Amino acid sequence: MFDEPVNANKIDVEESQNTFDYWINRPYISENLKGSLSKTNVLIVPLEGYYDKGPVFAGFSERLLTFLKNSGYQGLLPDICIEEGDYVELAQHGRTLIIVGAFVLTSIIAPIFVNLVSDFIKQRLGAEDKRIKIEMTVVDKDGKGKQFRYEGSADSFKDIVLPRLKGGTQ
């Protein structure tokens, strides 16, 4: 009926089967890398279907991974879900919408992750006044996944997503 305003912040939450096991067992993940990835609590996962070449990542995924690893949170164990030689970036030149990426993380680490990603977007990307798109699959202690898709203001990301993490789908 009515189109959403361009500046609207949107968050969708739904059940997801694409948890750690799904991503660790993708055909492009070697047995050696599976062992390493199985010890993580944050996975930067590829965006599939953008290019015929295979999975791609947001253009700054490696910088974000380094930022997360150097964050000082001892319980944070991030990694990227791809073989080093297969890493391909999604070009985002001149976009008004910044694709932050897709992630799988444990529910315990989710609030810390959201705060760190918010800081990364503002400090490292200088994108506090930009629109962003991010997907996070949050896995609870029983292994069930809930996917959060956010598209909206980088400034509002943390304030909108954190309450939804605590309240589920409210």
pLDDT per position as a tens digit, 39-89: 999 999 998 876 666 789 988 899 999 999 999 998 999 999 998 888 888
Confidence (pTM)? 0.88
% of the chain with per-residue pLDDT over 70 = 86
The order of strands in the sheet holding 54-58 is 47-51, 54-58, 89-90
Q: Half-sphere exposure (CA, 13 Å, Cβ side) for 94?
A: 0
Q: What is the pLDDT of residue 48?
A: 81
| C-alpha to C-alpha distance for 69 and 78, rounded to whole angstroms | 7
Q: What is the mean pLDDT of residues 18-23?
A: 96
Q: What is the mean pLDDT of the chain?
A: 87
The whole-number pLDDT of residue 80 equals 96
Band the pLDDT of 128: cuts 50, 70, 90. low
pLDDT at 58: 86
pLDDT tens per residue, range 79-116: 999 988 888 888 766 567 888 999 999 999 999 999 99
